[in-house]
Amino acid sequence: MHESQLLHFAAHRLQEVALLIMATVYTIRLIWLFRFKAGGDRQGRTGRFSTSPQKGALYSLANIAMPWAMESTRTKPVFWIQFALFHLGVTAAITLSFVIPYAPSVLNNGLVVFGFQAFIGAACLIGCYRMYRRISDKTMRAISAPDDYFSLALLTVWFAFGVLAAPNDISNGEGIMITFFMLTAFFLIYVPFSKIGHYLYYPITRYYLGRSLGYRGVFPIQKSVKPQKVAH
Partner 1 sequence: MATQVRSHKAQKVLDRLSKKLNRQMVGSMIACVHCGMCTESCHYVQTNPDDPTYAPAYKADQIRKIFKRHHDWMGRVFPWWVHAKTILTDEDLEELKDIAFGKCTNCRRCTINCPMGVDFATVNRMVRGLLVHVGVMPEGVSVVSKDQWEIGNQMGVLKEDYIDTIEWMEEELQDELEDPEAKIPIDKPDCDIVYTINPREVKYDPRTIADAAKIFYYAGANWTMASEGWDMTNFGLFSGDDDLGGTVAKRVYEKVQELNGKMLVISECGHGYRSTRCEGPNWGGVTLPFDSESSVDTMLRYIKEGKIKVDKTKNSTPVTFHDSCNNARSCGLYEEPRELLNLVCSDFREMYPNRAENYCCTGGGGAMSMGEYTPRRLKSAEVKANQLRETGAKIVITSCHNCVDGLNDLIKHYKLDMGVTQLVNLVAEALVPPEKAVPAQEPKAAATLKGYKILVVDDEPDTLTYLTTVLEDNEATTLQAADGATGIELAKKEKPDLITLDISMPGMDGGEVFARLREDPETRMIPVCIVSGKPELRGLIYDKPHRPPEGYLDKPVEEETLVLNARKILELARKQN
Residues that bind partner 1 (CB under 8 A): 33-34, 36-44, 46-48, 51, 60, 63-64, 70-73, 79, 83, 137-148, 193-195, 198, 201-202, 204-206, 208-210, 212-213, 216-218, 221-227, 230, 232
**Residue 51 CB, nearest approach to partner 1 (Å):** 7
CA–CA gap between residue 115 and residue 110 (Å, rounded): 9
Considering the complex, state which of residue 13 and residue 195 has its C-beta at the smaller distance from partner 1.
195
Q: How far is the CB of 16 from partner 1 (least distance, A)?
A: 24
Report whether 89 contacts 123 (CB < 8 A). Answer: yes
Ramachandran angles phi, psi of 214, nearest 5°: -70, -40
Calpha distance 63→214 (Å, rounded): 13
Tell me, what DSSP letter sits at residue 231? -
Residue closer to partner 1 by CB (options 111, 231) is 231
Q: Return d(Cα 191, Cα 42) in angstroms, integer.
A: 37
Closer to partner 1 by Cβ: residue 12 or 134: 134
- By C-beta, is 67 or 167 nearer to partner 1? 67
Output the smallest distance, CB 96 to partner 1, in A: 23
Closest separation in Å from C-beta 206 to partner 1: 4
Q: How far is the CB of 112 from partner 1 (least distance, A)?
A: 30
Nearer to partner 1, 139 or 171 (CB): 139
Instruction: Please state the closest distance from residue 216 (CB atom) to partner 1, in A.
Output: 5
In order of 46, 226, 227, the CA distances from 230 in angstroms are 34, 12, 8
Nearer to partner 1, 7 or 123 (CB): 123
DSSP string, 75-128: T-HHHHHHHHHHHHHHHHHHHHHHHHHH-GGGGGSHHHHHHHHHHHHHHHHHHH
Give the CA dihedral 158, 191, 116, 131, nearest 10 degrees: -50
